[in-house]
Amino acid sequence: MVRAWLLSEEKVLTPKYISLDELYKTSGVEYYQIDTNNYEDDPLLKNLIEQRDNHFVNKVEHLDDSDLIKHNTEHYHEHDEFRLIIHGCGYFDVRDKYDEWLRVEVIPGDLLVIPGGCYHRFVVDGNLEEFKGLRFLKDYGYKSYPRPNDEMDCRKNYMRRLYNGAYDDPKE
């Protein structure tokens, strides 16, 4: 079971855990469990890829310190980004609608869908060289926009959806 919690700036030792429904309601981030041994044929993943047109697959493996800096810099993308953990573990930090960090621990089989326009960053826990994951993106590119960058339409639309309750109902 994936764990998510409010990441306090005060470095409180006891985290305030949140449910996956709360994660979704306050950030729009979706969580799914995928069989890493058979992800290519997983019907749920195939359906998400088709629905959102995220056909470009990018392997994330054999990371080094420069990769770590790139992934750990707060940014967003124009379109939804799927992240599937294959080997190793890490943490996705995402900004919620209150501009607070939510930390999501991810292990093999965890798939996060991070909405376009949602600020996030990623930290590998453990050996960088052993970490393996997959990114599912739009075919035509992968560009990140570092914070602050709130003027793009995708960011404004994301914030509008958050504040207008688009993520209030748990996903099916």
The region of weakest confidence among 1-10, 23-32, 141-150 is 1-10
Residue span of the structural domain in which 57 resides: 29-163
Has residue 76 been placed in a domain? yes
Return the pLDDT at 171: 65
Residue 95 or 130, more confident: 95
Does a structural domain hold residue 38? yes
Give the pLDDT band (50/70/90) at residue 111: very high
DSSP line for 61-124? ES--HHHHHHHTS-EEESS-EEEEEEESEEEEEEE-TTS-EEEEEE-TTEEEEEPTT--EEEEE
The pLDDT confidence band at residue 123, using thresholds 50, 70 and 90, is: confident
Rounded Cα distance between 100 and 103, Å, is 10
Domain-embedded: residue 35? yes
Q: Is residue 101 part of a domain?
A: yes
pTM: 0.87
Number of domains into which the chain is organized: 1
pLDDT tens across 33-77, in order? Answer: 999 999 999 999 999 999 999 998 988 876 665 555 556 789 999
Residue 10 in any domain: the answer is no
Give the CATH number, domain containing residue 33.
2.60.120.10
Examine residue 19 and state whether it is found in any structural domain, yes or no.
no
Over the chain, what is the mean pLDDT?
Answer: 86
